[in-house]
Structures are given as C-alpha cells and as structure tokens.
C-alpha cells in the first residue's frame, strides 16, 4: 500500500507554534516515505498509557505499511513530554500537537489532527488501549478489500464484545445512546452497528468532499461537539461504502474514563445539531419547539388573569413573551448551536420582534381569507397560522441565524482546508 507515494522529510523533535494557540512537536530527521495511514490519537491526561500504546502500534504495523502517528493533546499533565520521549524509539513518524484551547472536545481534536496530516487513510483510536492496536492493519485491509470509504471497529457486530465497559450503568448508557442515534439517522447509519465507536478508519477524500460540499451550500463542513466524532463524520461525510470489523472492547490500561454527565449533555446537543442540519428538519424542530412554547404561555396567562386585574388581551401579550423566551432558549441551544452571529441579546431581540409581529399579521390575513376568499373563520385561522409560521421560520432561519452564521462556519472550515494547503506547500 505504500507504493506510489512521494518522499517527504520529517523534522527533528522540536516544539513549534500552532496557529490555533497550541504547540506541536514531531520526531525523526531521516527521509521517510509519505505515509499511507495517519493515525490520530486524541489525548487528555493519558501519560501512563503512552508507552504501552506506542509499543502496541509499532508491533501491529506490518512491513510495507507506512504509518504516521499524531497525538492531539488537550492534557494538563506531562502527556506531551512523555509522547516526545517515547517517539524517539519508534520506527515511524510520531508527533504531538498540544492545544492550549481544547475547542470542540475530543471531536475537535480529531478535526485538528485531520488538518495536520496527509495520508489517504485517516484512522482514529483512543489512547487508553481499550481499542487494540492490532486493529490498525485490520481496518485498512478491510477498507481496501471492500473499496469502502469508512471502516468501523464495532463492539456490536457478530464476533465483537463490549466487555470493557465498566459496570451496568455504562453498558446501559452505551446501548441507549446507540439505539437513539440509529433511530434518528436510519438511512445514513445503515450498516453501522456501533455509531458510538471511537475506533475507525475513513478515507481522506470523503472528508475533503464533505468540506467542499458544505462550502458550496454555505453550511460549513465538520462541526464536532464532544467525543462522538464517528457520528459527525458518518453523517456529514456520507461515506461511499461502509464495512465493519468486530473487536473486543478491552479494559482501560490506566487513567480514568472521560465519559461524564457533561459529555452526555454535549452528545445530546450534537445529536440535535446533526439532525437539524437540513432545512426541512429545522422547520420540523422549529414547529415542535413552537408548540411546546404554548405551555409557558398558557401558564403565564392563567397566572396573570387570575392574580391581576389586567385585561385578558394585555395579559396575553405579556404571557406571549414568556413563550417567546422559552422558544428562543431551546432554538438557540439545540437547533442553532453552531455559527451563532453576534451577541445573544441581539438574537433574542430579533427573534422577539419576529415572534410578536405574527400577532399583527395573523388577524389581517385571516380577515382576508374570510372576506375575499369566502372561507369560514376556523379554516381561515388555520391557514393564516400555517402561512405565518412558515414565514417566521424562514425569516428567523435566514435573517437571525443562517445567513450570518454561514460566514463563521466558512471561516472554521477554512482552517481545515488551509491546514491541508500548508501541508502541500
């Protein structure tokens, strides 16, 4: 697999500036064939695992397969220094990118690693040795044999095992999150039994295609949040051909699990972001959240009319503001998580103005349907609600979020394509 690649010189071990605010070190000074596989290992305080991991990777790589290893590190301990020392005894290029600001969590670390590597195959695995290093050649071989763009190491495929999950709680959470994810993306995850896997290989051309297509639609490319980067890549890259390799999920070699309640909440936000990346899906979410806003609206109206002498029309206008706040909070947090333009107060004011404007638009529209089209009041009201809802969604989606947010997403994706341009130079 290494034939046909040009020769490149790998720099000596030295820390260099990273445009994102981190530092990077790389190994070896001898000419090395351009790698066929870029192994990206995100790390957070994994110093105790590094030696064992690199020994396993070195032992697993067969002759003739050129591999480069990049650790993308968000640690607060001495993990980068341990990696640099361990790299000196490795036959393949090993480097470490330390990020001062861990933007995007583990998923963001993988995207940063993709931008700084060059091989046609990208493989991702954890540093805790729950993913056996010998999976590396197995995944690449399976992908080449099937001409697939994505190869997933699966705990749930026949012959696999999730035995390394500690305790019934983690087993239950893993199973529930897998079932939820597959139910939300039945078509895109067809053939993927373990969408939450942290060990997989993907062809670079699939990632590049996703970024380019996102630029064309002005929707951006990869926008990971948290530690489930495979889900991000499978949904946004839409790889052409997927195969799985079963494996036994092992016990952590050293250190502590990074799975926390906070990461679970970030995962749910990421699911919402992915599911609403399509305009039609955003409209459905917009409508469901709008319906949920009737609850705080009606509760506030009941309280105001029961505890004050306000006229019911005035009370409804005031109660409507609570529903507006409710809707804005859910939309801003779940549907429009990434690419938010400006300050939250500005978005809230714009959203409130549009939400209150439909009170003025619905009545004249309803009267038009009744008096000019001869409709009854009930169907005229229903049609006016649908028309005003669709118009409000388009205005919110275009004016408050998407149009300005696209610029921020394009800037983020430019960092990926820019990193690739620097490699080529």
Could you please report the per-residue DSSP string of 174-193? HHHHHHHHHHH-TTTTTT-S
Please count the structural domains in the chain.
Answer: 2
Whether residue 423 lies inside any domain: the answer is no
pLDDT of amino acid 28: 43
Are residue 324 and residue 224 in the same domain, yes or no?
no
Average pLDDT, the chain: 75
The pLDDT tens digits of the residues spanning 68-101 come to 999 999 998 899 999 999 998 888 999 999 998 8
Are residue 247 and residue 209 in the same domain, yes or no?
yes
Distance CA 379, CA 90 (A): 74
Whether residue 416 lies inside any domain: the answer is no
Are residue 214 and residue 351 in the same domain, yes or no?
no
Which DSSP symbol is given to 398? I
Are residue 322 and residue 269 in the same domain, yes or no?
no
pLDDT of amino acid 412: 42
What percent of the chain clears pLDDT 90, i.e. is strictly above it?
22
Whether residue 79 lies inside any domain: the answer is yes
Whether residue 2 lies inside any domain: the answer is no
Which DSSP symbol is given to 10? P
Are residue 100 and residue 203 in the same domain, yes or no?
yes
Are residue 346 and residue 378 in the same domain, yes or no?
yes
Whether residue 18 lies inside any domain: the answer is yes
Q: Which residues pair with 37 in a beta bridge?
A: 67, 121
pLDDT of amino acid 169: 57
* Position with higher pLDDT, 155 vs 34: 155
CATH label of the domain that carries residue 164? 3.90.550.10
Distance CA 163, CA 174 (A): 12
Are residue 242 and residue 337 in the same domain, yes or no?
no
Which among 275, 307, 325 is the end of a domain? Answer: 275
The pLDDT tens digits of the residues spanning 316-347 come to 778 778 888 988 888 887 777 665 666 778 88
Which among 232, 247, 275 is the end of a domain? Answer: 275
DSSP helix/strand/coil, 31: strand
Predicted TM-score (pTM) of the model is 0.61
For residue 60, what are the domain limits?
A: 7-275
Which among 259, 275, 291 is the end of a domain? Answer: 275
Are residue 332 and residue 395 in the same domain, yes or no?
yes
Are residue 262 and residue 289 in the same domain, yes or no?
no
């Amino acid at each position: 697999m290494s034939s046909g690649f040009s020769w490149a010189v790998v720099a000596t071990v030295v820390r260099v500036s990273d445009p994102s605010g981190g530092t990077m070190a790389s190994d070896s000074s001898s000419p090395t064939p351009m790698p066929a596989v870029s192994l990206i290992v995100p790390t957070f305080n994994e110093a105790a695992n590094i030696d064992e991991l690199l020994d396993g990777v070195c032992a697993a790589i067969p002759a003739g397969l050129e591999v480069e290893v990049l650790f993308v590190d968000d640690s607060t301990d001495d993990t980068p220094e341990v990696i640099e020392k361990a790299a000196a005894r490795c036959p393949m290029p090993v480097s470490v990118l330390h990020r001062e600001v861990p933007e995007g969590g583990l998923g963001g670390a993988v995207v940063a690693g993709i931008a700084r590597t060059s091989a046609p195959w990208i493989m991702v695995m954890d540093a805790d040795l729950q993913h056996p290093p010998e999976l590396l050649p197995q995944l690449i071989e399976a992908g080449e044999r099937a001409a697939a763009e994505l190869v997933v190491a699966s705990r749930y495929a026949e012959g696999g095992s999730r035995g390394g999950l500690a305790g019934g709680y983690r087993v239950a959470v893993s199973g529930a999150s897998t079932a939820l994810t597959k139910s939300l993306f039945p078509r895109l995850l067809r053939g993927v039994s373990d969408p939450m896997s942290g060990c997989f290989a993907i062809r670079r051309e699939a990632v590049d295609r996703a970024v380019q297509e996102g630029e064309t639609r002005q929707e951006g490319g990869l926008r990971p949040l948290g530690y489930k980067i495979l889900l991000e890549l499978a949904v946004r890259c839409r790889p052409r051909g997927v195969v799985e390799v079963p494996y036994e999920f092992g016990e952590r070699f050293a250190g502590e699990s990074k799975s926390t309640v906070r990461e679970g909440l970030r995962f749910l936000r990421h699911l919402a972001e992915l599911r609403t990346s399509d305009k039609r899906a955003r409209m459905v979410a917009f409508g469901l959240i709008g319906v949920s806003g009737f609850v705080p609206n009606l509760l506030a109206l009941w309280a105001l009319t029961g505890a004050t002498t306000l006229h019911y029309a005035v009370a409804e206008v005031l109660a409507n503001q609570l529903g507006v706040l409710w809707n804005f909070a859910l939309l801003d947090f779940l549907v429009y998580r990434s690419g938010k333009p400006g300050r939250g107060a500005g978005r809230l004011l714009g959203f409130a103005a549009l939400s209150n404007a439909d009170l003025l638009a619905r009545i004249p529209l309803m009267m038009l349907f009744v008096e000019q089209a001869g409709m009854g009041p009930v169907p005229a009201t229903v049609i006016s609600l649908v028309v005003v809802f669709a118009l409000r969604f388009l205005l919110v989606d275009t004016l408050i979020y998407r149009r300005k947010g696209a610029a921020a997403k394009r800037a983020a994706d430019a960092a990926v394509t820019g990193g690739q341009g620097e490699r080529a130079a």
